[in-house]
């Protein structure tokens, strides 16, 4: 099959690789109809994470079940499914506690930017639709494989209170989904820290009530002013750098929590401030499967449209241009149309 492979920093290609095969009775193979590029794919692309040259990349996709292992009973070839980027059996103690991203049988989608993806723990991970979705729903359904549940998780971890004030640090696709989550959860004031006009526009469509373009101390001061000097009731840290984490804590009111979902790179949480101000930190990899039923309902009913984060759609052949566009921040998030 044709799939996206990474060969060296910046060297992303579509190459012919062996079709995935069922390696365990709990596996499934999905014919990918749409995949996408994740912000976290940019770390290995930029050479900041170690790679194995020639390996496939990509963990976000939706598609049609092609083949299932003998222990997969709820799904059959032809089913249209959302594929959570992290796989779980949905039965272990951690899954039952709602932390499917720490499942004892945790796995991750392989070759999600290829013609066929391999999914482990298919029974516990996949979520099926009734028939093929309308084309207009495809971007939002694809967003459910990772970016929307991740933004949602930031909001859950931060404990967004109904009627409260929320700050979202980061205007990437995850941050924008965090804005949407906070808005759906009933936050009255949703402040997004964003300098990019195209992202500000989507943030506003997603329910942001205030935009702060300034960064660092100046940005934090603006937020403080917007919150009567008190700070935010909940803060969503959707970047993962030390600077963004610092900003998150600077705008969090005493007693609140910073929900973090950006994979941390070189972050040192300001423990002294956390102690002094009683500001908590919680989050991590999103338990996608936990949120999927609720989020799927919201998408299918038209209440949310997270697919707006895709500002570019490319055929698989042009995936390299997709990586370049996201790396250079010309694009927020790129969808790959495998049926194009």
Chain residues binding a copy of itself by CB under 8 A are 93-94, 97-99, 101-102, 157, 228, 230, 253-255, 257, 260, 263-264, 267-269, 271-272, 274-285, 287
- Of 168, 326, 153, the residue nearest 237 (C-alpha): 168
Give, for 299, the enclosing helix (H) or strand (E): helix 288-300
Q: Which CB, 94 or 199, lies closer to a copy of itself?
A: 94
* CB-based contacts of 279, cutoff 8 Å, min separation 6: 249, 252, 253, 254, 255, 256, 257, 258, 273
CB 276, min distance to a copy of itself, A: 6
Q: Where are the alpha helices (DSSP H) in 75-161?
A: 93-96, 122-125, 138-143, 147-158
C-alpha–C-alpha distance, residues 335 and 147, integer Å? 12
Calpha distance 63→90 (Å, rounded): 21
Nearest approach in angstroms of CB 59 to a copy of itself is: 16
Is the Cβ of residue 76 or residue 230 nearer to a copy of itself in the bound state? 230
The answer to whether the CB of 211 falls within 8 A of the CB of 194 is yes
Q: Considering the complex, state which of residue 139 and residue 178 has its C-beta at the smaller distance from a copy of itself.
A: 178
254/302 with CB nearer a copy of itself: 254
| Minimal distance, residue 183 CB to a copy of itself, in Å | 22
Between 30 and 248, name the residue whose CB sits nearer to a copy of itself.
Answer: 248
User: What residues form DSSP beta bridges with 114?
Assistant: 3
Least separation in angstroms between CB 179 and a copy of itself: 21
Q: Determine the Cα–Cα distance for residues 128 and 133; give it in Å rounded to an integer.
A: 11
CB of residue 40 vs a copy of itself: minimum separation in angstroms? 12
Smallest distance, Å, CB 313 to a copy of itself? 31
Neighbours of 186 (CB within 10 A): 11
Query: Is the distance from CB of 187 to CB of 163 less than 8 angstroms?
Result: yes
Q: Which is nearer to a copy of itself, 133 or 159 (CB)?
A: 159
């Amino acid at each position: 099959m044709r799939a996206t492979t990474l060969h060296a920093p910046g060297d992303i290609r579509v190459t012919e690789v062996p079709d995935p095969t069922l390696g365990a009775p709990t596996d499934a193979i999905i014919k990918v109809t749409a995949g996408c590029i994740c912000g976290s794919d940019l770390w290995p692309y930029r050479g900041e994470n170690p790679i194995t040259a020639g390996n496939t990349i990509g963990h976000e996709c939706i598609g049609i079940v092609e083949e299932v292992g003998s222990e997969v009973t709820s799904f059959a070839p032809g089913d249209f499914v959302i594929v959570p980027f992290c796989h779980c059996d949905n039965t272990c103690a951690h899954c039952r506690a709602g932390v499917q991203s720490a499942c004892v049988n945790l796995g991750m989608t392989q070759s999600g930017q290829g013609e066929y993806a391999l999914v482990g723990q298919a029974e516990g991970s996949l979520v099926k639709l009734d028939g093929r979705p309308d084309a207009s729903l495809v971007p939002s359904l694809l967003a459910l494989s990772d970016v929307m549940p991740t933004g949602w998780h930031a909001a859950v971890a931060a404990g967004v209170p109904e009627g409260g004030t929320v700050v979202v640090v980061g205007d990437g696709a995850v941050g924008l989904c965090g804005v949407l989550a906070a808005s759906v959860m009933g936050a009255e004031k949703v402040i997004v820290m964003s300098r990019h006009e195209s992202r500000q526009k989507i943030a506003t469509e997603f329910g942001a009530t205030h935009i702060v373009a300034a960064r660092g101390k100046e940005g934090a001061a603006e937020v403080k002013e917007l919150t009567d000097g008190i700070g935010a009731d909940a803060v969503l840290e959707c970047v993962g750098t030390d600077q963004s984490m610092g900003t998150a804590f600077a705008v969090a009111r005493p007693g609140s929590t910073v929900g973090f979902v950006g994979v941390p790179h070189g972050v040192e949480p300001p423990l002294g401030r956390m102690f002094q101000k009683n500001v908590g930190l919680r989050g991590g990899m999103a338990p996608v499967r936990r949120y999927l039923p609720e989020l799927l309902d919201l998408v299918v009913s038209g209440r949310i449209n997270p697919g707006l984060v895709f500002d570019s759609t490319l055929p698989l052949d042009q995936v390299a241009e997709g990586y370049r566009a996201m790396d250079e921040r010309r694009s927020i998030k790129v969808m790959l149309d495998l049926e194009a």
